[in-house]
Amino acid sequence: MVIGIKDIFKLIGIIIISICAVFVCTLFLNYNIDLQSIENKILSVETKALFDALVMSGTVVSAVSGGCLLITAVVMLCFYIKHYIDSHRKELGILKALGYSNLRISSGFWVFGLSVFFGSAVGFAGAHCLMPKFYSVQNEDKLLPEFEPGFHLELFLSLVILPTVIFALMSVVYSLLKMKTPVLELLRGKSVSKIKAVKDGKDLPFLKDIKRATVRGRKSLVFFIAFAAFCYSAMVQMSFGIDELASEMMSFMILGIGLTLAFVTLFIAVTTIVRSNAESVSIMRVFGYSRKECSVAVLSGYRPAAIVGFAVGTGYQYLLLKIAVEVVFKDIENVPEFDFNLRALIIAAVSFVIFYEVIMYLYSRKIGKISVKEIMLDSVD
């Protein structure tokens, strides 16, 4: 029907995020379960304290990063379906006009759940591959008795099967809600609510007008850009900030996840921005607006969102680590002082500016390549 295998691969963002989320959660939760099993073998008080701290930090890490990633995946999936419906409004409208029932059309959306299955299965398998190494690193000083990674069916069910089912159901329900739109509105091609936000404002120059209209027309994208900046800022600074508190492996993991998330989110957001404005850009190019003017109109309105996201991320990681140090590790000796890490902030800020601007530059090149004939071919999706 309307959704094919090709569309599932467009969900690469969700796949990657599911991989990250399930990977981290599997690693730490599996470790915790195995750890609990040796609780009664622990005799000394010191070892008990270490044991508690390990359990605690495992829970915190999987809650914070896993939870964070899961929320992102949910938001992103909703966004994808919405975007999918928005950009296929005409086809869906035609199907509806021909007499297909809403349920019949929506039920096709379950395949979106497959992308979650791919991602979480890979993440789960990946975690199991890394587990032996992880277990030995966590117990480097041989303070705890040795124990081997085990396979836990309940984790497989709740981290792989459950999300797949939930996401599949969610896709169908969400699309069902979206399909309530009357046929004519679907056929007209543009969603009304998307547009009405732009009030007839003051007399701004045209390029400022269109910049405002593009940003306001799709608020979810503002969120995504801010979120990308947030992830980058929080995770990069955290990975530098905890190098004295936790193992090197953990720092690397956090750094890796932060970069992946930021990149994927930013990539998806900017791709969507460029695609959904391709028509406008193409019209502007016909009239003789230059590549630079077009990319300013389409892309530069999001910069403030990135700055806000970055600032919030900085505050968030600071508070999180502060709380972790004061609550989780309060009974353990020799925990280093935790201070705001200015060096990490500078490194994160400078590298983010470069990262962000390079991506924007690449996409502005892409905008330049949108041919003036693009709209006539109607091949933009």
Partner 1 sequence: MIKIENVHKSYGAKDNKSEILKGISLDVKRGDFAVILGASGSGKSTLLNVASGLERPDSGSVLYDGENIAALTDEKLTAFRKRKIGFIFQQYYLLPNLNVDKNVKMGAELAHNNDYAEVIAALGLSEKRGKFPHELSGGEQQRVSVARALAKKPEVLFLDEPTGALDEETGRSVLDYICKLQDELKFTIIMVTHNANIAEMAKTVIRMNSGKIVEQYRNQTQKTAYEIGW
Q: Which residues bind partner 1 (CB under 8 A)?
A: 188-190, 192, 194-196, 198, 200, 205-207, 209-210, 213-214, 217, 279-280, 282-291, 368, 372-373, 375-376
* Residue number with CB closer to partner 1 (85 or 231): 85
Q: CB of 317 within 8 A of CB of 233? A: yes
Among 133, 164, 159, 161, smallest CA distance to 148 is for 133
* Residue number with CB closer to partner 1 (106 or 211): 211
* Residue number with CB closer to partner 1 (292 or 343): 292
Q: Work out how close the CB of 162 gets to partner 1 at its nearest, in angstroms, rounded to a whole number.
A: 39
> Alpha-carbon Rg of the chain, whole angstroms?
24
Residues 233 and 274: their CA atoms lie apart, in Å, by 24
The secondary structure of 86-152, three-state, reads HHCHHHHHHHHHHCCCHHHHHHHHHHHHHHHHHHHHHHHHHHHHHHHHHHHHHCCCCCCCCCCCCCC
Q: Work out how close the CB of 269 gets to partner 1 at its nearest, in angstroms, rounded to a whole number.
A: 17
Most distant CA atoms of the chain, gap in Å:
79
Among 55, 21, 62, smallest CA distance to 162 is for 21
* Residue number with CB closer to partner 1 (146 or 200): 200
DSSP assignments along 277-288, one per residue: THHHHHHHHHHT
Residues 72 and 227: their CA atoms lie apart, in Å, by 9
Q: Work out how close the CB of 209 gets to partner 1 at its nearest, in angstroms, rounded to a whole number.
A: 5
Q: Work out how close the CB of 289 gets to partner 1 at its nearest, in angstroms, rounded to a whole number.
A: 7
212, two tokens:
């405002």
Residues in the chain: 381
Cα torsion for 39, 44, 50, 51, to the nearest 10°? 0
Q: Work out how close the CB of 164 gets to partner 1 at its nearest, in angstroms, rounded to a whole number.
A: 36
* Residue number with CB closer to partner 1 (64 or 283): 283
Among 358, 348, 269, 350, smallest CA distance to 316 is for 348
Residues 168 and 170: their CA atoms lie apart, in Å, by 5
Q: Work out how close the CB of 106 gets to partner 1 at its nearest, in angstroms, rounded to a whole number.
A: 24
Q: Work out how close the CB of 205 gets to partner 1 at its nearest, in angstroms, rounded to a whole number.
A: 7
Q: Work out how close the CB of 363 gets to partner 1 at its nearest, in angstroms, rounded to a whole number.
A: 17
* Residue number with CB closer to partner 1 (99 or 205): 205
* Residue number with CB closer to partner 1 (189 or 315): 189
* Residue number with CB closer to partner 1 (38 or 195): 195
